[in-house]
Structure 1
Amino acid sequence: MKSNSKTKVFLNISLLAVFIGVIIYVMDNSLSDIFAQLMKTSWVVVGLVILLGVVYQIVEGRSIKEIASYFQRDFTTKDGFFTSCYVAFYRVISFGTGTLLSEIYFYKKKGLAVSQGVGVTALHMIMYKVAVIFLSIIGLIFQFSLFYEHSPKMIPFILVGVGLTFVIIFSLLILSSSINLQVLLIKWTDKHFKRKKLRDWVDKCNLQIYSLRETVQTITKDRSAMIRIFGWNVAKLLFWYVIPYVVLVENHPTIDFLLVVSFTSFSVILSGVFPTPAGIGPFEFVYLLLFKPIVGTVDAVSSLLLYRFGSFVLPFLIGFVYVLIQKRRDIKMDLSAARKEKKET
């Protein structure tokens, strides 16, 4: 028991050291351009970007709360806010690989079962993508004549992006709610898995899948809840999509607000389907492709960097502070337990 407490202290301190090391690496290699741009930008614009980024997280927290509170009544908008920031932190730390797992783990810490956490995560992702599609279609309708005149070749890409996002949504819904798929999985495992250990593992998986299906169906049957969740997701995206306008309007006072919001939404929807040169992220490539002809390369790049700060770096920094406080608390508790054990011995 004594060695166990000491091991926990050592592991928590080691994990904290790894986090700090990765953060220094990321700051130096990936985020240095963003912070350099912040120093060149007026504090009014930076303040507005931070405000929009924080409001986004609050609205995101509300959208998460609308889903998670079905299974944990004490789950608040504040919990949803820190869920989003916690996930943003682990997205950066794990270079994207731990995003979904970190969200499920956060829900587990808040008292949700694993299957419920998976269900909340799946619905959270689905409703986000539905909102992305909605805003992209609205933008295409309002800006169609402009697109047709200047970039007609982009229209098929946007439609493909919408189509592929629909496929992702449909696949997630099928995987998380189809009883037929679960029956098919059971039949297939009954035929191919004969060893007892494998059978026990499959049975546990089937129970989790069954619980997941119940979780998803519990919420999707409530139409008013689905409309509320959809509304919160549309609202949160608008706070992100406004950031480029806030940055660009200072040097381009005549720039059209709806055009900027539409182009940003197109960048999000196209980032998953547009072929990009090596070393350039898909979102960045599409964003610059759309905005450079309108505002020039320098302003397009600066608005992109500030958008990335508000949508990517800011929640990561808030998440880092949250994780730091949690780890500090864990280390203090483990040290206290180790001292207590030492006195007892």
Structure 2
Amino acid sequence: MKINSKTKLLLNILLLVVILGVMFYLLQNSFGEILAELKSTSIYALITVFACGTFYLIVEGSNIKTLAEPFTHKFTSRDGFFAVCYYTFYRVVTFGAGTLISEVNYYRRKGLKVSDGVGVTALHMVMYKLALLVFALIGLGIQFSLFYDKAPNMIPLILAGMVVTFLIIAALLLLSLSLNLQIFFVKITNKLFKSQKLRAVVDKANLQIYSLRLAVNGILQERPRIFKIFLLNLLKMAIWYVLPYFVLVENHPSLDFLLAFSLISFTVILAGVIPAPAGIGSFEFVYLLLFKPLVGTVDAVSSMLLYRFATYIWPFALGFVYVLWDKRKAIKGELEELNQNS
């Protein structure tokens, strides 16, 4: 059903009001501690936090551009940069529920078909999880003897996190690539749905799944592109993972770089498999569990808040500005359309 200009205008204004309301709520509650920590942070740490946060977005923007390029040559690194900000913003305001939908929607608005957008999103997740797995494996290999002596109970937990991450990667690839799974879906839907209307919906879904399989398979066939994407994912995670060390070393000069790097890799992979809205509560729990014995409670909490700002709040803030600009442009266009029709 086609929505008229007046309805679209009202919906955009309503969405803008809701966004501003959620932003106010987050500033009053969730972000208070992080913003307070920024005020008491040294210039050196602030520069490090903003540099890492921004450099991550640049690398991730290039990563997304490389993923989307086979479907549209108009997709730039700048588009990839704002894609991260856009879906991070919706990840925060929807408490994780709208992350994947907003990412696919962004690609659709940039000219990709829905099936291609889903394919890019699925591969984006796969390569991200693969980078987590690689760094966690390297970290466990380096720190195994230390953990075996000091915290042997953590080893099975880290291994479990790796196994779950591997299963997520396998499931995403299976859902995206398996022809047999698609045939099974067709057989089941043919038995369950007999009415013409439902058949039309199912047939459309089958076409989208078929297109998704072609999209993912097409990217995977380009080995140089996949290798580049893999390296970009390793680089973007490395930017995140060096942050705790650079924030903590000022007060803890004897802190071992590889140990801090390994601990944050374990934190991220474990937080990603512990159920929590947008991974928020689980990350804090695991981070403090691993870093408190190393640097004490105060510095562990401080570094955790700064890490959260660089990886979560900074892209969210940029995404908020982007969404405001986007909604302003949409409302302005709809007002002009209403004036022309009146």
TM-score with structure 2 length normalisation?
0.96
Deviations 1:32-71 (A, max 9, x none): 0100111111122112101100100110011111110010
1:78 partner amino acid: R
Aligned to 2:70: 70
Counting only pairs closer than 5 Å after superposition, residues 150-161 of structure 1 correspond to structure 2 as 150-161=150-161
- CA distance in 2: counterparts of 1:329 and 1:203, whole angstroms: 36
Select between 153-162 and 279-288 the one with higher mean Cα deviation.
279-288
* 1:101 has 2:96 as partner: no
Aligned-residue CA RMSD in angstroms? Answer: 1.6
Aligned partner of 2:170: which letter?
A: F
Alignment of 1:153-172 (within 5 A): 153-172=153-172
Following the alignment from structure 2 to structure 1, what is the Cα–Cα distance between the partners of residues 176 and 157?
Answer: 29
Q: CA deviation at 1:149?
A: 1.5
- Taking only the aligned residue pairs, the percentage that are identical comes to 56
Aligned-partner residue type, residue 331 of structure 1 = I
Shift of 1:5: 2.9
1:60-106 superposed Cα distances (whole Å, 9 cap, x missing partner): 01111111001011111111110011000000111111100000000
Give the SS at the match of 1:143: helix
Partner SS for 1:183:
helix
Instruction: Please give the alpha-carbon distance, in whole angstroms, between the structure 2 residues aligned to 1:10 and 1:273.
Output: 39
Counterpart of 1:195 in structure 2 is 195
Does the C-alpha gap of structure 1 residues 275 and 20 become closer, same or farther in structure 2, counting only changes over 3 Å? Answer: closer
Aligned residue for 1:212? 212
Question: TM-score under structure 1 normalisation?
Answer: 0.95
Listed as ranges, the gaps of 5+ residues in structure 1 are none
- For 2:141, the equivalent position in structure 1 comes to 141
CA contact (8 A) 1:62 1:80 kept: yes
Deviation per CA, 1:302-333: give whole Å up to 9, x if none.
00000000000000000011111111111111
Report the counterpart of residue 302 of structure 1 in structure 2. Answer: 302
1:86 counterpart residue number: 86
Tell me the CA shift for residue 170 of structure 1.
0.4
* Aligned residue number for residue 173 of structure 2: 173
Superposed counterparts of 1:243-322, under 5 Å: 243-273=243-273, 281-322=281-322
Cα distance, 1:274 vs. partner? Answer: 5.5
**Residue pair 1:160, 1:273 contacting (<8 A) in 2 also:** no
- 5+ residue gaps, structure 2: none
Shift of 1:110: 0.5
- Is contact 2:165-2:273 (8 Å) kept? no
Equivalence for 2:326: 326
How far residue 173 of structure 1 moved from its aligned partner, in angstroms, is 0.4
Q: Distance in 1 between matches of 2:329 and 2:209?
A: 34
Q: Which residue is equivalent to 1:60?
A: 60
Task: Check the 8 A contact 1:157/1:273 in 2, yes or no.
Answer: no
Output the CA distance in 2 between the equivalents of 1:274 and 1:19. 28
Q: 8 Å contact 2:88–2:99 — kept in the other structure?
A: yes
AA partner of residue 261 (structure 2): V
Q: 2:336 aligns to what?
A: 336
Counterparts of 1:203 and 1:10, CA distance in 2: 34
Give the equivalent residue in structure 1 for 2:45. Answer: 45
Matched residue type, 2:205: C
Alpha carbons 1:157, 1:274 under 8 Å: kept: no
Partners of 1:310 and 1:214 in 2: CA distance: 36
The answer (yes or no) to whether the contact 1:115–1:211 under 8 Å persists in 2 is: yes
Q: How far apart, CA to CA, are the structure 1 residues paired with 2:184 and 2:299? A: 54
Shift of 1:197: 1.3
8 Å CA contact 1:129, 1:165 repeated in 2: yes
